[in-house]
């Protein structure tokens, strides 16, 4: 990667002809750059109205600077390397060192100026999904603006007319650029701090990739057969947990820029969807759920009272989406006699291993894999293998968390006597006579 100093110099030079008359090229703000894959601490506002900042799973919020009464951000579209989970790195396109790009966090009524510098090998634009802005700022290449050529910088200027949760992504060679991971979230806090305040506020965007085992680049022409189901371009066990203090009111903002819907499910609680990319849902229209479907090209935000301590699975309910690189060519062998199968296969291939006749539970038996891919089902909890992948993480609700502490609190210490347990069956087989009266049962 280039150094920050070198980058700023060339960016200012390259963009001199592209910026509008209202802004001088010399005044382009610094473009912060992060390539860490863990959630960065919330970015508390340094000026303007106060708000409780969001945290981005495995990501960060983009710092801004004030220029008069404008909030100025600088996005740099560029190739990045993203680790999906330990053992797998993928060459993606993103913004400011990461894919997805940083969350852009502002306040309702803010005047926002976003500089976009293109460091990709092809042109791009940025579209502001769900935001009410002038047509010429909508970022649809060819329709509302010229495409941003490589090396050039464009400026988007608009007022944040309404609060809520929105997304950004290119509207320029869209199929390729979205399949390469170019996307991010926009959070606009209400100007009135008493409007539906929460204690913790998480945000992430869902995207999917097909990265064949042993390769490092997504297949951008893939339409349906993806094998990497990601939250912020991470898969279990690489997705950050959601640490929550017992009793906190928690907001989770979920964007979907993948090519299919994801029914997102939280264990141990019921929640209400309070906001979409269209705006806040009136209280009278909210209802309790434990799973909410997030359609393609949409945002769903739910609020939940974290009143049940523990380690709570939080995941997409399509079971194929909680797996990593999975071959779909596997035969279904459930119910097939393992002995017969082993004998039949053994004749053809003496070294073959018959497996999966009682399901696919493999426990710790991870087989040797090609370079740069991930086991289909993986991860270990305090009681053994978790056997998940893809869109799965854990909301960790603890009594003893400090207010702004987002560090992983480790596994839950279950109070004695609260964990499902094994019983020892009686020594003799219980009688199972059909229709026999209970009193005749011999124990
Ligand atoms: Cu899903």
186 φ, ψ to 5°?
A: -120, 125
If you measure from the C-alpha of residue 53 to the centroid of ligand 1, how many angstroms do you get, rounded to a whole number?
Answer: 27
Cα–Cα distance list, 288 to 81, 196, 269, 270, 291 (Å): 39, 17, 10, 6, 9
Structure tokens at 310: 């523990």
Mean pLDDT of all residues belonging to the chain:
86
- Model's pTM, two decimal places? 0.84
Q: Which of 87, 316, 77, 328 minimizes the C-alpha distance to 206?
A: 316
pLDDT digits (tens, 9 = 90+) for 257-283: 999 999 999 999 999 999 999 999 999
Distance, in Å, from the CA atom of 256 to the CA atom of 276, rounded to the nearest integer, reads 11
pLDDT for the residue numbered 371? 82
pLDDT digits (tens, 9 = 90+) for 65-101: 999 999 999 999 999 999 999 989 999 999 999 999 9
- Residue 357 makes CB contacts below 8 A (sequence gap 6+) with 333, 334, 335, 336, 337, 338, 341
**What are the DSSP E strand ranges found in 100-182?**
104-107, 111-118, 127-129, 153-159, 164-169
Section 103-107 average pLDDT? 97
For residue 304, is it within any domain?
A: no
If you measure from the C-alpha of residue 342 to the centroid of ligand 1, how many angstroms do you get, rounded to a whole number?
Answer: 35
If you measure from the C-alpha of residue 144 to the centroid of ligand 1, how many angstroms do you get, rounded to a whole number?
Answer: 33
As beta bridge partners, residue 186 has 104, 166
pLDDT digits (tens, 9 = 90+) for 285-298: 999 999 999 999 99
If you measure from the C-alpha of residue 38 to the centroid of ligand 1, how many angstroms do you get, rounded to a whole number?
Answer: 22
Does 20 or 64 have the greater pLDDT score? 64
If you measure from the C-alpha of residue 173 to the centroid of ligand 1, how many angstroms do you get, rounded to a whole number?
Answer: 25
If you measure from the C-alpha of residue 297 to the centroid of ligand 1, how many angstroms do you get, rounded to a whole number?
Answer: 14
If you measure from the C-alpha of residue 366 to the centroid of ligand 1, how many angstroms do you get, rounded to a whole number?
Answer: 24
Does 30 or 333 have the greater pLDDT score? 30
If you measure from the C-alpha of residue 229 to the centroid of ligand 1, how many angstroms do you get, rounded to a whole number?
Answer: 7
If you measure from the C-alpha of residue 183 to the centroid of ligand 1, how many angstroms do you get, rounded to a whole number?
Answer: 18
For residue 242, is it within any domain?
A: no
Section 154-166 average pLDDT? 97
User: How far is CA 387 from its chain centroid?
Assistant: 19
If you measure from the C-alpha of residue 228 to the centroid of ligand 1, how many angstroms do you get, rounded to a whole number?
Answer: 10
356 falls in which pLDDT band (50, 70, 90)?
A: low
If you measure from the C-alpha of residue 265 to the centroid of ligand 1, how many angstroms do you get, rounded to a whole number?
Answer: 10
Structure tokens at 218: 């997504």
Please tell me what DSSP assigns to residue 429: P
If you measure from the C-alpha of residue 99 to the centroid of ligand 1, how many angstroms do you get, rounded to a whole number?
Answer: 19
Domain that holds residue 340: 327-367
Section 33-52 average pLDDT? 88
The residue from 139, 174, 194 where one domain ends is 194
The residue from 309, 338, 367 where one domain ends is 367
pLDDT digits (tens, 9 = 90+) for 402-438: 988 999 999 999 999 999 999 988 777 666 666 555 5
pLDDT digits (tens, 9 = 90+) for 184-226: 999 999 999 999 999 999 999 999 999 998 899 999 988 888 9
For residue 102, is it within any domain?
A: yes
Alpha helix locations (H) across 329-369? 338-348
Residue located via tokens 């009594």? 399
If you measure from the C-alpha of residue 210 to the centroid of ligand 1, how many angstroms do you get, rounded to a whole number?
Answer: 14
User: How far is CA 347 from its chain centroid?
Assistant: 46
Q: Report the residue count for the chain.
A: 443
pLDDT for the residue numbered 4? 40
DSSP strand pairing (242-245 vs 392-398): parallel
For residue 158, is it within any domain?
A: yes
If you measure from the C-alpha of residue 41 to the centroid of ligand 1, how many angstroms do you get, rounded to a whole number?
Answer: 27
Q: How many other CB atoms are there within 10 angstroms of residue 313's CB atom?
A: 16
pLDDT digits (tens, 9 = 90+) for 326-353: 554 555 556 656 566 566 656 666 555 5
Q: Is the pLDDT of residue 304 over 80?
A: yes
Q: Is the pLDDT of residue 372 over 90?
A: no
For residue 20, is it within any domain?
A: yes
The residue from 172, 194, 216 where one domain ends is 194
For residue 87, is it within any domain?
A: yes
343 φ, ψ to 5°?
A: -65, -45
For residue 68, is it within any domain?
A: yes
CATH number of 53's domain: 2.60.40.420
If you measure from the C-alpha of residue 1 to the centroid of ligand 1, how many angstroms do you get, rounded to a whole number?
Answer: 33
If you measure from the C-alpha of residue 86 to the centroid of ligand 1, how many angstroms do you get, rounded to a whole number?
Answer: 21
pLDDT for the residue numbered 375? 79
* Domain count within the chain: 2
If you measure from the C-alpha of residue 73 to the centroid of ligand 1, how many angstroms do you get, rounded to a whole number?
Answer: 32
Q: Is the pLDDT of residue 354 over 60?
A: no
For residue 19, is it within any domain?
A: yes
If you measure from the C-alpha of residue 391 to the centroid of ligand 1, how many angstroms do you get, rounded to a whole number?
Answer: 7
pLDDT for the residue numbered 13? 37
- Residue 285 makes CB contacts below 8 A (sequence gap 6+) with none
pLDDT for the residue numbered 5? 37
* Lowest mean pLDDT, pick from 123-137, 228-242, 337-351: 337-351
pLDDT for the residue numbered 222? 86
């Amino acid at each position: 990667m280039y150094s920050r100093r070198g980058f700023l110099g060339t960016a200012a030079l390259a963009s001199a002809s592209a910026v509008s008359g209202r802004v001088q090229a010399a005044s382009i703000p610094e473009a912060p750059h992060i390539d860490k894959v863990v959630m960065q601490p919330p970015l508390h506002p340094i000026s303007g109205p106060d708000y409780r900042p969001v945290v981005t799973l495995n990501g960060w919020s983009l710092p801004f600077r004030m220029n008069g009464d404008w909030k100025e951000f600088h996005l740099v579209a560029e190739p990045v390397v993203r680790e999906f989970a330990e053992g797998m790195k993928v060459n993606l396109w993103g913004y400011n060192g990461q894919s997805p790009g940083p969350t852009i966090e502002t306040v309702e009524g803010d005047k926002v100026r976003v500089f976009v510098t293109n460091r990709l090998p092809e042109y791009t634009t940025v579209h502001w999904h769900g935001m009410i802005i002038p047509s010429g700022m909508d970022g649809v290449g060819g329709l509302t603006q010229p495409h941003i050529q490589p090396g050039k910088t464009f400026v988007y200027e608009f007022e944040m007319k309404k609060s809520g949760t929105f997304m950004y992504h290119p509207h320029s060679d869209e199929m390729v650029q979205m399949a390469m991971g170019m996307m991010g979230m926009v959070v606009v806090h209400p100007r009135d701090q008493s409007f539906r305040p929460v204690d913790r506020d998480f945000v992430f965007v869902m995207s999917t990739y097909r990265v064949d085992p042993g390769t490092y680049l997504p297949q951008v022409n893939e339409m349906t057969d993806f094998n990497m189901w990601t939250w912020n371009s991470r898969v279990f066990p690489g997705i950050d947990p959601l640490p929550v203090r017992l009793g906190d009111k928690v907001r989770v903002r979920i964007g979907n820029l993948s090519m299919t819907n994801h029914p997102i499910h939280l264990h141990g609680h019921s929640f209400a969807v309070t906001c979409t990319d269209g705006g806040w849902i009136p209280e009278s229209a909210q209802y309790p759920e434990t799973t909410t479907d997030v359609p393609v090209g949409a945002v769903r935000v739910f609020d939940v009272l974290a009143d049940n301590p523990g380690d709570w699975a939080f995941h997409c309910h399509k079971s194929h989406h909680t797996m990593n690189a999975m071959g779909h060519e596997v035969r279904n062998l459930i119910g097939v006699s393992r002995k017969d199968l082993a004998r039949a296969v053994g004749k053809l291939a003496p070294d073959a291993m018959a497996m999966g006749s009682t399901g696919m539970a493999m426990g710790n038996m991870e087989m040797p894999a090609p370079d740069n891919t991930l086991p289909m089902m993986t991860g270990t909890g305090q009681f053994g293998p978790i056997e998940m992948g893809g869109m799965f993480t854990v909301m960790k609700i603890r009594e003893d968390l400090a207010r702004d502490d987002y560090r992983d609190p480790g596994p839950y210490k279950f109070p004695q006597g609260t964990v499902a347990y094994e019983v020892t069956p009686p020594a003799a087989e219980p009688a199972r006579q059909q229709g026999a009266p209970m009193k005749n049962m011999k124990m």
